[in-house]
């Protein structure tokens, strides 16, 4: 895996939304600050690799997923897919080949499914709209295969059903089957198991892990749950307020985190079998600031229990702290 | 740590044989059955189960807030020894909020968007406690500070607050009439881990500060490990296991509890494997005979299909499974016959 070529590469990628500002700003003609949802992300995903993005809500994970799948346009930086610069590619027909290779799975399977369509039509939809297969026998074949790969067995039993006739776990599998039908090289999954019961969650994670084995498909898995990320991912990238603050192997991030924010995330995670002797930093105070008001210096410094003078002034560079392990923190300098 | 078997103190809340049915398209569907438990003053108990297992229905029944198509078909609820009129909305009014209070599932997203939060907290104080407007506002400010929001923030509208802050507002509202029991229905399910930890910490602090009894409803067993004394596991409308947190995690008895624990990814376990529970929970329309878990249970025996196993008491708690207490040889032969 470490030698596999990159399927996805983000270089200083930015998504800034125009700020709306308050009424007062408007009256005084003050420009309102842009919402810097994704604010300079560097990240690579290799062919067949599973990378998890973790961070609390408001850190920009969903926006990152949406810009990678080209549901929105980046406002800066570069987005490379399989070696090609796709940063400014847009429009339905220009994006068709890209959509064929990159698919997105959303958190809420219930909203993602059209209640009036049968499961067959839902799974066949991307194949039809991307005009990947036109022949009916072939279409049925592809839909059946996707059902089976997503764990909907026997496939025929689900074809004629409607979303309301499915359990929550089955609905999420239909969403996965739809994404798989086009045989993508990369799936971006935005919190695909957060709404599911723990027992069903494990089934879906298993389906996704099997897919990588069978199809060598890469997966960018967005979650706020560190144990889930550890379970499914080869590598984890920790995101805070629009930036990646630490990346490393799943084990390094889980057992040897270096950035104080990663440590805080780990400490906030409920653990099941008693306490271990891990170092305890004080719990994080307060809330993540708005992406329209990103603090100067290190963007984490107002909440960081270890912040010192330099953190308030300069943003720390991302440095290597081990093989495949990087972090952006002045303590590591 | 309290021992559930120790009957020395009178419980603050006693639920006995509670049963609720929903009417749906002309037929009556048994939803929860034979739910019995006791809670001591100041105790924190978790009610854990998959979605659809009947947790919210149980909470609503206890608070006398069931929807019109639901009926309490059996059992009773006692508060400090007195039977509560849970199927009479008007008669329940003096008890609700001032004795038993509920933080509703998903309610933090249902705050009125056009009113400042201070007003939304003050309103129940006026209605329930008969306070004047000024008194109610003063009480609301006090409640905000209690849940860790500065009183000045009370001027904010719901959309100006994060999910965690809105959940704090819901907790403040539940505390308005100084209840002794708070039922939190999935209070952290929609929140990220950092916010979840903050809310659980707040509930734990309030609990000891106000000597609150807490019923924490969740589908996520890992949430309860650090903030509850006891866990009750619910499956398809019945309690299947009840025990201290330490005991449930270290020594689960019911096969469902065991599988639930194994399906939580746990890095401290060292191996990157989860064991999914096969299949889906039964729907209301298709409840199997006997033990409802048997279709997904790795240790199901013929006897499991015959009759619902009783929730039997043992030294450390209660469990409803034919494997407990372990059968003697002759009995085993009979069960497998
Ligand atoms: N369309 C949008 N317009 C303006 N701000 C947005 C938009 N989408 C997201 N944001 C803001 O960007 C930040 C990151 O949001 P999001 O990507 O949803 O984070 P996460 O998925 O990690 O919770 C938040 O502050 C959010 O309010
Ligand atoms: N108002 C209602 N009418 C009919 N059925 C309902 C109603 N509310 C809940 N149910 C059903 O009752 C069962 C238990 O639901 P609930 O108590 O909400 O479970 P939980 O809170 O554990 O997810 C589910 O099968 C659900 O579909
Ligand atoms: Mg998101
Ligand atoms: Mg519920």
List domains and CATH numbers for chain A: 6-112+187-197+223-332 (3.40.50.300)
Q: Look-up: residue for tokens 């590469």?
A: A9
Alpha-carbon gap, residue B223 to A196, rounded angstroms:
15
Chain B: nearest CA to A84, how far in angstroms? 34
**Residue A97 in 3-state DSSP?**
helix
Residue A260 has pLDDT above 70, yes or no: yes
Q: What is the pLDDT of residues A35-74, one digit of tens each?
A: 999 999 999 999 999 999 999 999 999 999 999 999 999 9
**Residue B242 in 3-state DSSP?**
strand
Alpha-carbon gap, residue B143 to B124, rounded angstroms:
12
Q: Look-up: residue for tokens 């059209």?
A: A114
pLDDT at B2: 45
pLDDT tier for residue A280 given thresholds of 50, 70 and 90: low
pLDDT at A276: 46
* Contact assignment for B219 to A254 by CB distance below 8 Å: no
pLDDT tier for residue A265 given thresholds of 50, 70 and 90: very high
Q: What is the ipTM of this complex?
A: 0.85
Q: What is the CATH number of the domain that holds B257?
A: 3.40.50.300
pLDDT tier for residue A200 given thresholds of 50, 70 and 90: confident
Alpha-carbon gap, residue B217 to B215, rounded angstroms:
6
pLDDT at B287: 87
Task: Give the burial class of A168: count Cβ atoms within 10 A of its Cβ; 0-12 exposed, 13-18 middle, 19 or more buried.
Answer: middle
* Contact assignment for A224 to B260 by CB distance below 8 Å: no
pLDDT tier for residue A249 given thresholds of 50, 70 and 90: very high
End-to-end CA distance of chain B: 42
Q: Whose CA is nearest to atom 3 of ligand 2?
A: B22
Whether the pTM exceeds 0.80: the reply is yes
Query: Mean pLDDT score of chain A, rounded to an integer?
Result: 90
| CA nearest neighbour of A329 among A298, A302, A305, A308 | A298
The C-alpha angle with vertex B186 and arms to B182 and B187, in degrees rounded to 5, equals: 65
- Beta carbons of B66 and B60 less than 8 angstroms apart: yes
**Residue A220 in 3-state DSSP?**
strand
What is the span of the domain harbouring residue B76?
4-336
Q: Which of A58, A75, A237, A295 to mutate to test the pocket of ligand 1 (most atoms within 8 A of CB)?
A: A58
- For B244, the enclosing helix (H) or strand (E) is strand B238-244
Query: How much is the average pLDDT of A137-162?
Result: 91
Of A224, A254, A267, the CB nearest to B267: A254
The DSSP output letter for B229 is S
* Contact assignment for B266 to A167 by CB distance below 8 Å: no
Ligand 2 close to Cβ of residue B55 (< 6 A): yes
Query: How much is the average pLDDT of A280-305?
Result: 89
* Contact assignment for A268 to B260 by CB distance below 8 Å: no
Task: Give the burial class of A274: count Cβ atoms within 10 A of its Cβ; 0-12 exposed, 13-18 middle, 19 or more buried.
Answer: exposed
| CA nearest neighbour of A165 among B286, B256, B235, B25 | B286
Ligand 1 close to Cβ of residue A223 (< 6 A): no
Alpha-carbon gap, residue B255 to B266, rounded angstroms:
19
Alpha-carbon gap, residue B207 to A195, rounded angstroms:
28
Of B222, B249, B260, the CB nearest to A199: B260
Ligand 2 close to Cβ of residue B69 (< 6 A): yes
Q: Which of A14, A17, A57, A190 to mutate to test the pocket of ligand 1 (most atoms within 8 A of CB)?
A: A17
Q: Whose CA is nearest to atom 26 of ligand 2?
A: B52
pLDDT at B276: 80
Q: Where are the alpha helices (H) located in chain B, listed in sequence order?
A: 55-62, 89-92, 117-129, 133-146, 163-175, 193-210, 221-224, 245-250, 255-262, 329-336
DSSP assignment string, A116-183:
TS-HHHHHHHHHHHTTS--SHHHHHHHHHHHHHHTT-SSTHHHHT--GGGS-HHHHHHHHHHHHHHT-
Q: What is the pLDDT of residues A96-133, one digit of tens each?
A: 999 999 999 988 777 788 999 999 999 999 999 888 88
Q: How many domains does chain B have?
A: 1
Ligand 2 close to Cβ of residue B49 (< 6 A): yes
Cα dihedral: B110, B112, B117, B120 (round 10): -100
Beta-bridged to residue A54, according to DSSP, are A223, A238
Beta-bridged to residue A36, according to DSSP, are A16
Ligand 2 close to Cβ of residue B218 (< 6 A): no
**A227 CA distance to ligand 3 centroid (A)?**
18
Ligand 2 close to Cβ of residue B53 (< 6 A): yes
pLDDT at B1: 45
| CA nearest neighbour of A143 among A163, A116, A118 | A118
Per-residue pLDDT of chain B (337 residues; tens, 9 = 90+): 444 444 457 899 999 999 999 998 888 999 999 999 999 999 999 999 988 899 999 999 999 999 999 999 999 999 999 999 999 999 999 999 999 999 998 888 889 999 999 999 999 888 888 899 999 999 999 999 999 999 999 999 999 999 999 999 999 999 999 999 999 999 998 899 999 999 999 999 999 999 999 999 998 888 888 889 999 999 999 999 999 999 999 999 999 999 998 888 888 777 677 778 888 888 888 888 999 999 999 999 999 999 999 999 988 899 999 998 887 777 777 777 6
Query: How much is the average pLDDT of A9-32?
Result: 79
Considering only A19-33, A214-228, B292-306, which range has the smallest mean pLDDT? Answer: A19-33
**Residue A332 in 3-state DSSP?**
helix
* Contact assignment for B277 to A167 by CB distance below 8 Å: no
pLDDT at B4: 47
CA of A207: which chain B residue's CA is closest?
Answer: B276
């Amino acid at each position: 895996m470490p030698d596999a070529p990159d399927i996805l590469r983000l270089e200083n990628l930015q998504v800034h939304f125009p700020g709306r500002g308050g009424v007062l700003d408007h009256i005084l003609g003050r420009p309102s600050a842009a919402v810097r949802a994704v604010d300079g992300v560097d990240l690579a995903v290799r062919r067949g690799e599973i990378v998890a993005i973790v961070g609390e809500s408001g850190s920009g994970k969903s926006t990152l997923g949406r810009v990678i799948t080209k549901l929105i346009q980046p406002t800066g930086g570069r987005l490379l897919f399989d070696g090609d610069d796709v940063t400014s590619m847009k429009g339905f027909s220009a994006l068709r080949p890209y959509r064929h290779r990159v698919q997105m799975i959303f958190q809420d399977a219930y909203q993602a499914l059209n209640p009036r369509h049968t499961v067959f039509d839902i799974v066949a939809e991307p194949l039809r709209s991307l005009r990947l297969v036109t022949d009916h026998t072939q279409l049925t074949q592809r839909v059946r295969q996707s059902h089976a790969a997503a764990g909907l067995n026997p496939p025929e039993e689900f074809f004629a059903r409607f979303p309301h006739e499915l359990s929550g776990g089955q609905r999420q599998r239909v969403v996965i089957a739809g994404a798989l039908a086009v045989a993508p090289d990369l799936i971006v999954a935005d919190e695909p198991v957060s709404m599911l019961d723990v027992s069903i969650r494990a089934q879906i994670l298993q389906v996704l892990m099997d897919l990588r084995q069978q199809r060598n498909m890469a997966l960018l898995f967005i979650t706020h749950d560190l144990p889930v990320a550890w379970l499914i991912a080869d590598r984890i990238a920790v995101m805070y307020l629009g930036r990646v603050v630490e990346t490393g192997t799943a084990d390094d991030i889980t057992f040897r985190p270096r950035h104080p924010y990663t440590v805080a995330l780990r400490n906030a995670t409920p653990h099941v079998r008693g306490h271990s002797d891990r170092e305890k930093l004080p719990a994080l105070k307060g809330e993540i600031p708005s992406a329209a008001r990103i603090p100067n210096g290190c963007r984490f410094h107002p909440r960081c229990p270890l912040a010192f003078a330099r953190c308030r002034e300069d943003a720390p560079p991302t440095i290597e702290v081990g093989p495949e392990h990087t972090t952006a923190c002045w303590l590591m300098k | 740590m309290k021992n559930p078997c120790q009957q020395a103190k009178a419980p603050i809340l006693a639920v006995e044989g509670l049963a609720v049915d929903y009417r749906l398209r002309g037929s009556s569907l048994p939803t929860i059955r034979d739910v019995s438990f006791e809670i001591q003053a100041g105790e924190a108990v978790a009610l854990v189960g998959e979605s659809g297992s009947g947790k919210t229905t149980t909470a609503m029944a206890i608070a006398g807030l069931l929807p019109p198509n639901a009926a309490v078909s059996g059992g009773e609820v006692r508060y400090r020894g007195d039977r509560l009129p849970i199927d009479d909305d008007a008669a329940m009014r003096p008890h609700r909020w001032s004795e038993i209070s509920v933080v509703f599932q998903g309610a933090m997203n249902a705050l009125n968007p056009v009113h400042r939060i201070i007003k939304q907290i003050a309103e129940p104080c006026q209605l329930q406690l008969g306070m004047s407007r000024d008194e109610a506002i003063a009480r609301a400010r006090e409640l905000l500070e209690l849940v860790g929001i500065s009183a000045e923030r009370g001027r904010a509208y719901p959309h100006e607050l994060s999910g965690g802050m809105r959940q704090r507002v819901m907790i403040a509202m539940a505390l308005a009439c100084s209840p002794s029991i708070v039922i939190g229905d999935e209070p952290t399910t929609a929140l990220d881990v950092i916010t979840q930890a903050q809310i659980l910490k707040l509930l734990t602090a309030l609990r000891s500060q106000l000597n609150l009894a807490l019923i924490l409803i969740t589908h996520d067993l890992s949430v309860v490990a650090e903030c509850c004394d006891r866990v009750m596991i619910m499956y398809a409308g019945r309690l299947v296991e009840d025990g201290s947190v330490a005991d449930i995690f270290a020594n689960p008895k019911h096969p469902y509890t065991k599988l639930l624990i194994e399906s939580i990814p746990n890095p401290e376990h060292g191996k990157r494997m989860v064991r999914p529970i096969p299949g889906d929970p039964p729907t209301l329309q298709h409840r199997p005979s006997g033990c409802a878990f048997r279709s997904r249970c790795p240790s199901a025996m013929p006897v499991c299909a015959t009759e619902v196993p009783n929730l039997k008491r043992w030294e450390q708690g209660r469990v409803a499974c034919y494997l407990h207490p372990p059968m003697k040889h002759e009995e085993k032969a009979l069960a497998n016959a």
